[in-house]
Amino acid sequence: MKMMKIHKLLVLILVVAMIVPTVVYASEVSRRTEVSTLAATEMEATPEEPMPEPTPEPTPEPPAEEEPMIPLETNAPDVETETETEVETDKDRGAGEPVEIPETEVPRQPDDVNDGEWLRDKDAALNQPDVDYIPDEHFTTSVKPDQIKDNFRFRSVTKVSALVKEDNTRVYGDYRMDKTVIGVMDKDTICNVLIMGNGIWSYIESGDVRGFVSSRALEISRDIDTKIRLQGEPTFRKAKALVSPRENPAYLFERITAGPTVVKKEYAIVQGGGALNIYEERNTESRIIGTLVNGGLCYVLAQTMEWVYIESGDARGFVAAEHLLMGEEAKTKVETLREANFPLAEEFIPPEENAACYYTFTSVKEPQGGVLQYLGNFTVTAYCSCPVCCGPWSGGPTASGLYPVEGRTIAMGGIPFGTKLVIDGNIYTVEDRGTPYGHVDIYMISHSAAVIFGRQRAEVYVFQETE
C-alpha cells in the first residue's frame, strides 16, 4: 500500500511539473498579443500629421549703384600710414641714427621661434631663378663694411679656476675636439676657464697650454675655489704641453687671459753707438724685427742676465742688456726730459708675424680700438628685399625701423638691435630679425648676389668699442 501511494505521489508531481511551464508560456504569449493589438489600434486612431512646407528664403536686394564694391589694395600709393611717416622721419635724421619707433608701428618681422611657416633661409632661394624685382631707392644703398683691426695685445678677464676630474684629460687645438691634441692634464690639474662654449667645450689656459677641453672634464664650484685659496694656486700641477705655442692652433684663439696684461712702466734707454737691433729670438742670428736709435726709449717686460725682452711702440723683441740704461737712472732721465720727447722703435715686422710678440702677454698699454667677445661658429646666409627672400615683408623697412644697407645690415634673433658683430673681419650691425640666434643673414641689394653667397659657416664675434 505504501509503495502504491508513493508511486501516485511521484506521478502527480511529474504532471504538475509539465503543466506549470505551459500555462506560464501561454500567459506570456497572450500578454504580448494584447500589447501588439493595442499599439496597432492607437496607430490607426491617430491621424498622420502633414510635413511642414519649407519657408522660402528672401531674395537679397541688389547693392545700391551709388556704392560699388572696391577691392582692397594693400600697397595703395595714395594712402599715407603712420609707419611711412616714421620711416620718412628716420630718413631725414640719417640711416645711421636709430629712431625710437613704437612697436605697433614697426612692420611685423618673422621670428623663427614663433613663426615656423616662413624662415628667411637661402636653402629655398638657392634653387630659384633671379626674380623680376627692381628695389626702390630705399634698398639700393651700399657701403664698404668697416674692418676690424687685429689688435695683438691681450686683455684680462675674470679668473675662473677649475680642477680636472680625471687623469689623461686631453687638451685640443680645435673646439670640435677631434683635431690635434696639444696638451694633457691629470686629475687635480689646475686651469683657468676663459670661455664656456655652450656648456659643451671650454677654452682654458694652464701653464703654457691654451686650448679646448670637454666641460664635463672640469670641476668648477665654490668648494674648488676655497680649496685652491687654502692650498695655494702654485701647489697645483699645470697642464703638460705636447706642442710649442707656435705650433698650437688654439694659442691665439682669443686674446684673453686670466693673468695680468698691463704692467707698470719700467724704462730703458739706448746708450752708446748707433741703432740697436731688436731680435725675434735671444741670439743675433735670428730675424731683426726693428731698431732703436741711440737715446731711444723702450719698456722692460722681462729680462735675463744678457737679454732684455722689451716693447717700444708696437715692436716687441729681445735686445742686448749691455746697450741699455735701466733702473733709477733711466727713470730720472725720462721724468726730466718727459716721456713724449723720446723716440720709439722703428718696426720692420708686424706683431702678427713676429714670433717674439707673445713671449709674454703683458704690455704697458691697454688694447686699443675695441674688444671682441666670441659668440660661436654660426651659419651665415644672405638675403635681399625681394619677395623670394622676404616673403610678405618685402618692400618694407627692417624690424628695427631702418631701411637696410648693404655692407652694414644683418639679421639675427636673440641680440639687441644696434649690436655690432664681426664676421670675417667685417663689422656689421644687427638691424633686422628673421633668423634664430646662431644664424646670421647678411643684407645684399641683389638677389643674384645673395644666391651666389649661398650658405656658409663663420666665426662670429661681438665688437665692443673701447675709449
> In 3D, which of 298, 246, 301 has the Cα closest to residue 275?
298
Q: Give the contacts of 305 (CB within 8 A, at least 6 positions apart).
A: 321
pLDDT score of 250: 94
Residue bearing the bigger pLDDT, 85 or 181: 181
Residue bearing the bigger pLDDT, 435 or 322: 322
Q: Residue 347: beta bridge partners?
A: 290
> In 3D, which of 331, 352, 351 has the Cα closest to residue 342?
331
pLDDT score of 12: 66
Q: Which alpha helices (DSSP H) does 284-436 contain, by range?
A: 327-337, 387-390
Residue bearing the bigger pLDDT, 44 or 249: 249
Residue 133 confidence class, pLDDT cut points 50, 70, 90: confident
From CA 208, how far away is CA 253, in angstroms rounded?
14
Where are any strands of DSSP class E within 198-306? 201-206, 209-214, 218-219, 240-241, 256-257, 267-270, 276-279, 288-292, 297-303
From CA 435, how far away is CA 455, in angstroms rounded?
13
Least confident of 69-83, 204-218, 381-395, 398-412: 69-83
From CA 241, how far away is CA 256, in angstroms rounded?
19
Residue 446 confidence class, pLDDT cut points 50, 70, 90: confident
pLDDT score of 87: 32
pLDDT score of 229: 92
Q: Long-range contacts for 127-132 (Cβ within 8 Å, ≥24 apart)? A: 128/388, 128/451, 130/447, 130/448, 130/451, 131/386, 131/387, 131/388, 131/447
Residue 347 confidence class, pLDDT cut points 50, 70, 90: very high
Q: What is the mean pLDDT of the chain?
A: 77
Residue that is written with C-alpha cell 713676429 in the block: 354
Residue bearing the bigger pLDDT, 70 or 128: 128
Least confident of 90-99, 171-180, 409-418, 439-448: 90-99
Task: Give the mean model confidence (pLDDT) for residues 137-161.
Answer: 84
Residue 88 reports pLDDT greater than 90: no
Where are any strands of DSSP class E within 338-384? 346-347, 370-383
Least confident of 15-24, 53-62, 104-113, 294-303: 104-113
Residue 466 confidence class, pLDDT cut points 50, 70, 90: low
The predicted-structure confidence for 233-259, as pLDDT tens digits, reads as follows: 999 999 999 999 989 999 999 889 999
Residue bearing the bigger pLDDT, 122 or 99: 122
pLDDT score of 131: 61
Q: Are strands 218-219 and 456-465 parallel, antiparallel or unpaired?
A: unpaired
Least confident of 143-152, 253-262, 427-436: 143-152
Residue 261 reports pLDDT greater than 90: yes
Residue 463 reports pLDDT greater than 60: yes
Q: Domains of the chain, with CATH numbers?
A: 122-145+369-465 (2.40.40.10), 155-257 (2.30.30.40), 267-353 (2.30.30.40)
Residue 336 reports pLDDT greater than 70: yes
DSSP string, 390-416: HGGGTTS--TTSSPP-BTTEEE-TTS-
DSSP string, 160-228: -EEEESSTTEEEESSTTS-S-EEEEE-TT-EEEEEEEETTTEEEEEETTEEEEEEGGGEE-SHHHHHHH
pLDDT score of 14: 61
Q: Residue 378: beta bridge partners?
A: 458
Eight-state DSSP code of residue 363: B
From CA 406, how far away is CA 383, in angstroms rounded?
10
Residue 172 reports pLDDT greater than 60: yes
Residue 399 reports pLDDT greater than 50: yes
Residue 128 confidence class, pLDDT cut points 50, 70, 90: low
From CA 367, how far away is CA 371, in angstroms rounded?
8
Residue 15 reports pLDDT greater than 60: no
DSSP three-state, residue 373:
strand
Residue 218 reports pLDDT greater than 90: yes
The sheet with strand 169-172 has its strands ordered as 218-219, 161-164, 190-197, 201-206, 209-214, 169-172, 181-185, 240-241
Residue bearing the bigger pLDDT, 424 or 217: 217
pLDDT score of 65: 41
Residue 53 reports pLDDT greater than 70: no
DSSP three-state, residue 441:
strand
Residue 462 reports pLDDT greater than 60: yes
